[in-house]
């Protein structure tokens, strides 16, 4: 079977750190081109300044991975899907829920695969955590997702603009795990968003969710963490405590702790290849819905300016 010819659109940190190595390590794909008006690409691979140029002039591609900021992703995805090209959407899948719905329908009509890629769901501890929780009674959940924005998003002004999500850019990773492993749906009850007076998006959030059985789920997000970073989900159950740490790569159960190799993006590309080969799409918007609900329902507090 011939490899899937894929182009990476947007050549920022996530593309270079994660997408290019994952594609290089997966025989189901071949890197046909890179696209960016701000980057020269990589040696030996055709590079174009726009997706429009790529689709008009070649080289031919079967799929694109959109690694651009979410605010511009809809137009790019629409352009590709209209031509029957399969689309991999970096997280979050779009700047709004409505545009993701529109892309889902366009993919269906075009007969192309659309993949909303929640990379944290492919962390090593997530699948076994989901399986262990399936038969347990959950009594409480605490999510603590604190990191230093200066380390993980240096100079990325777009992330502070409307549609960039602010602290929910990492926070949505935690929500993508929680919506996947917890046995019941959950929704927002109350919350507080802290927004720097010189930014449009929040730098911290304190949220309280509730699942359909009344179980309390708390979420502590902060982009001002220095020193050790915190990416932890702790689930109390009738059979003891489950903890996912290091973003889901380390799972601790009452029976002990499991450490596994980070293969999130390898898992994403294996899933994307399967979707393409079987003519299906995978577009779960539940994490983005919870973020939208936070912007709808949580209180706002203005805090001191943030400057890099």
Tokens in use for 23?
């594609």
182 in Cβ contact with 210 (< 8 Å): no
At residue 286, what are phi and psi to the nearest 5 degrees? Answer: -60, -40
**Cα separation of 93 and 285, whole Å?**
8
Query: Strand pairing of 204-211 and 114-116?
Result: unpaired
The distance from CA 209 to its chain's CA centroid, rounded to whole angstroms, is: 20
Tokens in use for 299?
């209180």
Tokens in use for 245?
């740490």
Catalytic residue, candidates 40, 91, 289, 299: 91
Which residues does residue 208 pair with via DSSP β-bridges, in sequence order?
190, 218
Query: Is residue 91 among the annotated active site residues?
Result: yes
**Cα separation of 274 and 163, whole Å?**
30
**Cα separation of 132 and 125, whole Å?**
11
Integer CA distances (angstroms), 214 to 134, 137, 186, 188, in order: 17, 12, 9, 12
Q: What are the catalytic residues?
A: 91
């Amino acid at each position: 079977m011939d490899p899937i010819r894929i182009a990476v659109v947007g050549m920022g940190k996530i593309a270079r750190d994660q997408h290019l190595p994952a594609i290089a390590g997966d025989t189901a794909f071949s890197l046909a081109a890179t696209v960016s008006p701000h980057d020269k690409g990589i040696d030996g691979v055709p590079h174009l300044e726009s997706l429009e140029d790529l689709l008009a002039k070649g080289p031919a591609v079967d799929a694109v991975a959109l690694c651009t900021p979410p605010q511009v992703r809809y137009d790019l995805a629409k352009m590709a899907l209209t031509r029957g090209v399969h689309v991999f959407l970096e997280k979050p899948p779009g700047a709004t829920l409505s545009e993701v719905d529109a892309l889902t329908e366009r993919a269906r009509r075009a007969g192309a695969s659309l993949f909303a890629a929640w990379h944290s769901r492919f962390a090593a501890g997530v699948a076994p955590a989901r399986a262990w929780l399936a038969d347990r009674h959950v009594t409480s959940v605490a999510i603590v997702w604190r990191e230093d924005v200066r380390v993980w998003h240096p100079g990325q002004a777009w992330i502070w603009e409307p549609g960039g999500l602010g602290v929910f850019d990492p926070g949505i990773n935690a929500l993508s795990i929680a919506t996947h492993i917890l046995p019941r749906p959950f929704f927002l009850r109350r919350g507080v968003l802290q927004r720097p007076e010189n930014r449009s998006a929040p730098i911290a959030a304190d949220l309280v969710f509730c699942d359909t059985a009344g179980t309390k789920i708390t979420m502590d997000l902060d982009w001002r963490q220095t020193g050790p970073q915190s990416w932890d989900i702790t689930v109390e159950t009738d059979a003891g405590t489950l903890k996912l740490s290091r973003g889901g790569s380390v799972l601790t159960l009452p029976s002990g702790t499991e450490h596994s190799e980070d293969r999130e993006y390898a898992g994403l590309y294996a899933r994307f290849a399967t979707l393409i080969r079987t003519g299906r799409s995978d577009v779960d918007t539940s994490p983005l819905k919870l973020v939208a609900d936070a912007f709808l329902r949580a209180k706002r507090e203005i805090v001191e300016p943030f400057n890099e």
